[in-house]
Amino acid sequence: DGGITQSPKYLFRKEGQNVTLSCEQNLNHDAMYWYRQDPGQGLRLIYYSQIVNDFQKGDIAEGYSVSREKKESFPLTVTSAQKNPTAFYLCASSLPGQGFQETQYFGPGTRLLVL
């Protein structure tokens, strides 16, 4: 079955530690996105990538980094510079061909907690 997988489901971070969240898709989508979800704040865009080896900052990129070396994969690193990382992180992907009305398909999410 085609879809988006995120791992791990839960992740614990210690002070000063970098952690990486995995996102993999087998939908053959070119575009991928990372969102952060906090209660009552909806989803906020961290980074997005339209094609391999290219990505752009979203609205809240500070303290995060990404890479896009393969079409299927878009890992997100939460660095020690992100002082409030506790949140639910969602990865999404979409086809490029439909232009601005692209539907984004979401993974199941990773919950990051600080020890």
Q: How far is the CB of 80 from another protein (least distance, A)?
A: 26
Q: How far is the CB of 106 from another protein (least distance, A)?
A: 4
Q: How far is the CB of 46 from another protein (least distance, A)?
A: 12
Choice between 30 and 72, CB closer to another protein: 30
Binding residues for another protein, rule: CB under 8 A, are 4, 6, 31, 33, 35, 40-45, 48, 50, 58, 88, 90, 92, 94, 96, 99-109, 111
Choice between 88 and 114, CB closer to another protein: 88
Choice between 50 and 77, CB closer to another protein: 50
Q: How far is the CB of 2 from another protein (least distance, A)?
A: 14
Closest C-alpha among 13, 36, 38, 8 to residue 23: 8
Choice between 85 and 107, CB closer to another protein: 107
Interatomic CA distance for residues 65 and 63, integer angstroms = 7
Interatomic CA distance for residues 70 and 10, integer angstroms = 24
Interatomic CA distance for residues 103 and 115, integer angstroms = 36
Q: Please report the DSSP string for 59-91 in residue order.
A: TT-TTEEE--SBTTB--EEE-TT-S---EEEEE
